[in-house]
Amino acid sequence: MREFYDVTDPEALKSLAIPERVKILELFEDLEPRTAKQIATELGENAARLHYHVKELVRVGLLEQVDTRVKGSIVEKYYQPVAKLITVKLQVMIEENAHQLSDVMFTPIRTTEQDLMRTLNHFIASDVDVRKEYKDTFGYNTTEFNLTKEERKEFLSEVSNLIKRYRELKPDENRRKYKFYDILFPYTPPHPSEDADEPFEDID
């Protein structure tokens, strides 16, 4: 498995705009090979439908078959992502696939929102003991930075190294599974003209 893979193929970009395929890729955070059936079970999805998405991810080069095991009359195919970190070259995506930009960028946000809402709904509907178990488990942070290009690279490198350090921790009975999502983008302040139609009320 490679360390990094830059997505530039339009077909691969389309896969990153499909929530089911994004969830499949996210499932491999532990870097352990899985069969399509195992992926379907872990995601709680229909096996046949899930297998179609696995085959499409293989076709566009985001998943690869890494092993085949025979159990009786059954041949099990095991898959892994092509790299530990799959990234999208934003410049290529904008220049060649601008119409896909919104879907590709926002699909991970939408799937993360779905996962968060499912957790929150479970928390709300749970009894007191389960709510105690959730204590000190949520983290939330949003801020703005003023960075040079070099500072930006340094910041992203430090964050990537920190994430890699914790991703290497193996699951056990003392560890709860967490989902983490971060996004860094150049901030464009709203132009005053965007608020031109809003009524002004002098309350002094």
pLDDT above 60: residue 16: yes
**How many independent structural domains does the chain possess?**
1
Residues sharing a CB contact under 8 Å with residue 115, sequence separation 6 or more, in sequence order = 179
Domain membership flag for residue 16: yes
What's the pLDDT at 189?
76
Domain membership flag for residue 196: no
- Here the CATH number for the domain that contains residue 21 is 1.10.10.10
User: In 60-100, which ranges are continuous DSSP H helix?
Assistant: 90-96
What's the pLDDT at 96?
56
Domain membership flag for residue 184: no
Domain membership flag for residue 158: yes
Domain membership flag for residue 95: yes
Q: How confident is the model at residue 86 (pLDDT cuts 50, 70, 90)?
A: confident
Residues sharing a CB contact under 8 Å with residue 78, sequence separation 6 or more, in sequence order = 33, 34, 35, 65, 66, 67, 68, 69
pLDDT above 90: residue 80: yes
pLDDT above 70: residue 76: yes
What's the pLDDT at 168?
81
Distance CA 68, CA 35 (A): 9
pLDDT tens per residue across span 39-58: 999 988 888 889 999 999 99
pTM: 0.52
Domain membership flag for residue 23: yes
What's the pLDDT at 82?
93
Mean pLDDT for the chain?
Answer: 81
* Whole-number percent of the chain with pLDDT over 90: 22
Distance CA 73, CA 75 (A): 7
Domain membership flag for residue 76: yes
Range of the domain at 149: 2-167
Domain membership flag for residue 176: no
In DSSP terms, 45 is beta-bridged to: none
Give the mean model confidence (pLDDT) for residues 82-90. 78
